[in-house]
Structure 1
C-alpha cells in the first residue's frame, strides 16, 4: 500500500542511481518514468518481464519511442509553430504540483494522450522541479481555443487573460483529462479575468484553504532552517559535553573548536527562519512583490524593542507575513489606476518601497509590542508548566497529531510545537515539540505492532505492509498510517489518538525536551532524556496497538 492515485496496491518498484554531482538527474528520470507508466502496455510488459536484461530492454525501447518522437514534435513546433492545423482544435495547458516531480508530468502526459485520442492538438507547459518546459508563448495563447490548468501550486496565469480557462488540481488532470478537454471544446470553460498582480495563485480551489494554505507555505520553507539549525546547535552542546566542557557556564556550546563551529553555523541557519517564515507567508498571498516586505517583517520579529530585550518571535513573524501579503494586495489595488507607462516602476520601486514602509511601521509600532508580550506570556507559561498542566498539554498536542494524520489539526499542533523552539533552543528545546514528535510517531508504530500482535485481525498483505510502519514511525512520518486509517477510520483513528495522547502526556510528565522539529529516532539522542522519551513513545504505541487489536474483527483469508 503506497496511497496510490487509484487506491490499488503498487506492483512495480523503481530505484534510481545517479552519479555524484548530477543534481537533477533523479528528477528528470522520475519525470520520464511517470510519463512512461501511463502506458498500460508498458506496465504489463514490465510486470511480465522475466530477467533484468528484459526489463532494461523494455524501458530503453519505450523511452526511445516516446521521447525521440517528442523531440521531433518540439522541433516541428519551433520551426512551424504558426502553422496550427485549421481542421484540428488547438488547446493549451499547464501543469504543476508541489514537488514538481511526478504529478506534474503525469498530468501533462495524460492530457497529451487524451488529446491525441480525441483528435485535438495540444501543447502542455510543465512547471516541474527542473524548471518550466515547453513554455507557452504569446502566439500559443492567442491561437488556443481554451486553457486547462492542472495545478496544485502557484504559477503565472495573468497571461491567459480573456481566454476560456478551466482550473483543477493536477490529480484531476491525470484522472479526467478527456473530460477537461471536452469541456473546453463544448465552450463550458469560463472566461478568465486577470487580477492586478503579474503572478496569480493556484486558483479557486486553493483560495478555499485561505489562511491555512498561506501559513503552511511559510512553514514549508521555514522547516529546513529550523531542522538544520536546531540539530547543529544541539550538536554543539553535545560536543562540549563529550569533551568535558559541560560546566563552561555562558560559554557552554561554544568552548571547543568543533562546538563553536556547530554553534556558529547552526545559529546562522536558525536565525533565518523567522524572516523566511514571514517572507513566504507573504509570497503565498501576493507572490513575488510581497516577498521583500515579508522578509523584513520576519526580521523585525527577531529584533528586540529594547537592547537585549524579548522579541515577538514566531508570533510576530507569522502575523507580519500575513500583514505584508495583504499590504501588497492593497497596493496592487491602489496603483491600478496609474498609467501603463509606469507599470515597470511598480515592481521595482512602488511596491517594494511602500510595502516595506507600511509593513515595517505597523510591525514596529503595533504588532511587535503586542506580539512580544504574547510571546513572553506563552514562554513563561510553558516554562512554568509542571505536573498536571504539562501532562494535559502534552496529551492534547499528542492527540492532535494523530487525529487527522497530516491534516489541518495535525499541522496546527506541529506549527505550535515548532514555534516554541524559537525561544527555547539555547535551553535544550521544548517539551511541546517533544510531545508533538512523540504523538506523530505513535500511529505508524502502533499499526506495525498491532499487525504482528494480532495477526488474525490483519490480512497477509496488511501484515507485510505493516512492517514498513516501524521505519515510518521511528522516522516521524505519521502518514505511514494513513492507508490503514482510510480503510478503517472508526477503529484506527480512536486507537491512535489515545496512544498518541498517552505518549504526549508522558513526555509532559517527564519534562522531556527536544531541540529539533523533525527526525524521529535520529534526533532523539539530542533530547534531555533519550531513554524516557523512547519509553513514552513505545508505551503509547503499545496501548494504541492493543486497543486497535481489540476493536478490529478477525479476517478470513
Structure 2
C-alpha cells in the first residue's frame, strides 16, 4: 500500500511540476494587465487586452498540461495526448483542476492497460504513436463528456438554486458557505457558483462581494505566506510559486493556490477552505461593501469599509498559512524521494 501511494504521489508531482510554469507565467502576466487597467477587471481594449490574452492562455493550458503529464507518468508517451485532451474536456464540462487530475489518472490507467494487449508485429510500430493514443483519447474523452459532464451540470444548477434559497439566512452562516465554496476549488465549478452568485448581485447587494472579494484572494495569499513562514516544508518549485501566488492573490486570481492543492490536496484544501470561511465572515460582519465584481487588494478604491476588507484578508490568509503549516510536518517531496531511494536500494540488495 505504501508503495502504491508513493506511485500515486509521484504521478501527481510529475503533473504539477510541469503545470507550475504555466500558472506562474500566465497568472503573473494576467495580474499585470489587471493592475495596469483603469478598473479592477480584465482589460478589453488596447495592448493590455493583448497582455491579458497571453496570460489567459497560460491559465487555460495548465489543466491540460496537468492531466497530460499525470498520464505520461503512468503510461509514458502514449498517455500524453489522452491525458491532456481528457483534462481539457474535464475543464470544459466544468470540473476544473480536480477534474483535470481525475482525467489524467483515468487516461494513464486506460492507456497502461491498453499497452498490455499484445499487438501483431506489423502493428507494434503504430501502437505508441497511433493506436494507444487514439483508443485512450476516445475512451477517456467519452467518459468525461458522456458520463461526467451531465452530473456536474446538474450539480451546478442545484448549488445555484441552493444558494438562492440560503440568501435569507444570517450573514455569518452565508459568509461561511460562500467563503468555503469560493476557496474550495480555486476557479473550479464550486468556486464559480459562489462568485457568480455574488457578482451578479453587485449592484443590488454589494456587501456580498465585500466578503467574496476577500475569499477569492485568501487561498493564494495564504499559501504564499505559508511558504515564507515555513520554507523548509516546501520544495523549490512551491517556494517560487508562493511568491507569484501572493501577487495573483492581490489582484484576485484564486488559481495561484492550485499548485499547492494539486501537490498536497489533503492538507491544502481544508486549510484554504478554513481561511476562505474566516476571511469571508469578517467583512460580512463589519459591513464591508465592494462595488466591483472582482476580488483582491486591487479593488480597494471601490471598497467601502476598507479596514474590514484588509482585516479579512489578513486574518483569512494567516488562518490558511498557520493551518497548512501545522498539518505539513516536513517537505513531502523530500520524503517521497528518500522512500523511493530506500526502495531501490532494497531491490539492489536483494
Tell me the TM-score normalized by structure 1.
0.37
User: Are residues 1:288 and 2:77 paired?
Assistant: yes
Aligned residues: 264
Whole-angstrom CA distance in 1 between matches of 2:275 and 2:53:
37
Q: Structure 2 vs 1, CA of residues 378 and 338 (structure 1 numbering), >3 Å: closer, same or farther?
A: same
Q: Structure 2 vs 1, CA of residues 284 and 421 (structure 1 numbering), >3 Å: closer, same or farther?
A: farther
Q: Which residue of 2 aligns with 1:482?
A: none
Whole-angstrom CA distance in 1 between matches of 2:156 and 2:47:
32
Q: Which residue of 2 aligns with 1:346?
A: 127
Q: 2:155 aligns with which of 355, 364, 374?
A: 374
User: Are residues 1:387 and 2:171 paired?
Assistant: yes
Whole-angstrom CA distance in 1 between matches of 2:317 and 2:49:
38
Whole-angstrom CA distance in 1 between matches of 2:177 and 2:10:
25
Q: 2:26 aligns with which of 225, 229, 232?
A: 229
Q: Structure 2 vs 1, CA of residues 441 and 226 (structure 1 numbering), >3 Å: closer, same or farther?
A: closer
Per-residue CA deviations over 1:514-544 (Å, capped at 9, x if unaligned) read 989xxxxxx8547886865543354578999
Whole-angstrom CA distance in 2 between matches of 1:360 and 1:515:
33
1:314·1:422 contact (CA, 8 Å) conserved in 2? no
Q: Which residue of 2 aligns with 1:191?
A: none
1:217·1:281 contact (CA, 8 Å) conserved in 2? yes
1:214·1:284 contact (CA, 8 Å) conserved in 2? yes
**Where do residues 253-332 of structure 1 align in structure 2 (5 Å cutoff)?**
253-303=42-92, 311-332=94-115
Per-residue CA deviations over 1:16-57 (Å, capped at 9, x if unaligned) read xxxxxxxxxxxxxxxxxxxxxxxxxxxxxxxxxxxxxxxxxx
Structure 1: gaps (5+ residues): 1-203, 247-251, 305-310, 398-412, 448-471, 477-496, 517-522, 545-557
Per-residue CA deviations over 1:462-505 (Å, capped at 9, x if unaligned) read xxxxxxxxxx99976xxxxxxxxxxxxxxxxxxxx99x957850
**Where do residues 112-511 of structure 1 align in structure 2 (5 Å cutoff)?**
207-209=4-6, 211-241=8-38, 253-303=42-92, 311-333=94-116, 335=117, 337-340=118-121, 342-375=123-156, 377=158, 387-389=171-173, 391-392=175-176, 416-417=185-186, 419=188, 423=192, 432-440=215-223, 505-510=278-283
Per-residue CA deviations over 1:194-217 (Å, capped at 9, x if unaligned) read xxxxxxxxxx96532354554444
Q: Which residue of 2 aligns with 1:40?
A: none
The residue matched to 1:417 in structure 2 has which SS? Answer: coil
The residue matched to 2:79 in structure 1 has which SS? Answer: helix
2:219·2:276 contact (CA, 8 Å) conserved in 1? no
Whole-angstrom CA distance in 2 between matches of 1:473 and 1:228:
12
1:435·1:508 contact (CA, 8 Å) conserved in 2? no
Structure 1 residue 435, shift from structure 2 partner: 3.1
2:75·2:112 contact (CA, 8 Å) conserved in 1? yes
Whole-angstrom CA distance in 2 between matches of 1:474 and 1:360:
32
Whole-angstrom CA distance in 2 between matches of 1:287 and 1:320:
15
Tell me the TM-score normalized by structure 2.
0.55
The residue matched to 1:208 in structure 2 has which SS? Answer: helix
Whole-angstrom CA distance in 2 between matches of 1:382 and 1:223:
33
Structure 1 residue 329, shift from structure 2 partner: 1.6
Whole-angstrom CA distance in 2 between matches of 1:501 and 1:514:
23
Whole-angstrom CA distance in 2 between matches of 1:395 and 1:524:
17
Q: Which residue of 2 aligns with 1:35?
A: none
1:439·1:501 contact (CA, 8 Å) conserved in 2? no
Per-residue CA deviations over 1:273-332 (Å, capped at 9, x if unaligned) read 23223212222322221110011112223446xxxxxx4443443332222111102201
Structure 2: gaps (5+ residues): 200-208, 231-241, 247-269, 285-289, 321-350
- Cα-Cα RMSD: 5.1
Q: Structure 2 vs 1, CA of residues 357 and 538 (structure 1 numbering), >3 Å: closer, same or farther?
A: closer
Whole-angstrom CA distance in 2 between matches of 1:231 and 1:514:
20
Per-residue CA deviations over 1:113-146 (Å, capped at 9, x if unaligned) read xxxxxxxxxxxxxxxxxxxxxxxxxxxxxxxxxx
1:395·1:503 contact (CA, 8 Å) conserved in 2? yes
